[in-house]
A and B are shown apart, each in its own frame.
Chain A
Amino acid sequence: SQELEQSPQSLIVQEGKNLTINCTSSKTLYGLYWYKQKYGEGLIFLMMLQKGGEEKSHEKITAKLDEKKQQSSLHITASQPSHAGIYLCGADTVAYNAGNMLTFGGGTRLMVKP
């Protein structure tokens, strides 16, 4: 969807390196969800952000939502081969109303070289 742009589209990093994936919206992000997908599998939920300036971390992955709620970033510290996969951001761009559909970016394909 052109509403949600992810960058980069693909990324190859050496094991141990840090990396950042960005997700930019043309609309206000009332809920921003990060998922990870491996080939042939469903989406695995990572983190959800709602408030401007919010930051969440889980193990070596940190996600942030900017103050204006139009951009989010996903940062991986000391990448490992297990981090490889497709990272997708999904957004609720309708003023808070539980149950809305998510609009997804095109995904970032991450490969980690051992």
Chain B
Amino acid sequence: GAGVSQTPSNKVTEKGKYVELRCDPISGHTALYWYRQSLGQGPEFLIYFQGTGAADDSGLPNDRFFAVRPEGSVSTLKIQRTERGDSAVYLCASSLNDRVTDTQYFGPGTRLTVL
């Protein structure tokens, strides 16, 4: 389909390991967002890209989290030295970022479990 895709759908890792989560946005969408959703809660903002640059990374919880979008399309969220508290569903969204409407369309998420 033409929606936002995320891989892997599930990731199980051990405490202290490094993980990468990938997001492929809707074609033509210049804005890309990462959110994190813990069980029973709404999504929480992590970082927003406009093109290749991170326009707002104020939601990243600490310096173990980093994200890139080198060509302005696919983005990778990287988590170093994972901790059990990082377990959550990581959601990616993209939008056109035109100035009339800016509806964000979400991918299915990556469920990260840190043992």
Best-buried of B41, B104, B111 by chain A (most CB within 10 Å): B104
Chain B residues touching A, range? 20 to 34
* A98 adjacent to B97 (CB under 8 Å): yes
- B45 A103 Cβ-Cβ under 8 A: yes
A40 vs chain B, min Cβ distance (A): 8
Would you call A33 and B44 a contact (CB within 8 A)?
no
Given A99-B50, A99-B55, A101-B59; A43-B98 close (CB under 8 Å) = no
Q: How long is the Cα–Cα vector from A43 to B31 in the complex, in angstroms?
A: 17
Query: Which of A35, A43, A48, A99 has the most CB atoms of chain B within a 10 A radius of its CB?
Result: A99
Question: Beta-carbon contacts of B92-103 to A below 8 Å, as 1s and 0s?
Answer: 010101110111
B48 close to A99 (CB less than 8 A): yes
| Size range of the chain A interface in the assembly | 20 to 34
The docked-state distance in angstroms from the alpha carbon of A35 to that of B42 is: 11
The answer on a CB contact under 8 Å between A101 and B48 is yes
Does A114 sit at the interface, judged by CB under 8 A? Answer: no
Within 8 A of A (CB), among B54-113: 55-56, 59, 91, 93, 95, 97-99, 101-109, 111
B residues 35-57 in Cβ contact with A at 8 Å: 35, 40-45, 48, 50, 55-56
Contact partner of A42 among B4, B33, B55, CB < 8 A? B4
Binding site for B on A (CB under 8 A): 1, 4, 31, 33, 35, 40-45, 48, 88, 90, 92, 98-107
Q: What are 13 residue pairs bridging A and B, where the CB atoms are less than 8 Å apart in the complex?
A: A35-B106, A42-B6, A42-B106, A42-B108, A44-B106, A45-B104, A90-B104, A98-B97, A99-B50, A101-B33, A101-B56, A102-B45, A106-B42
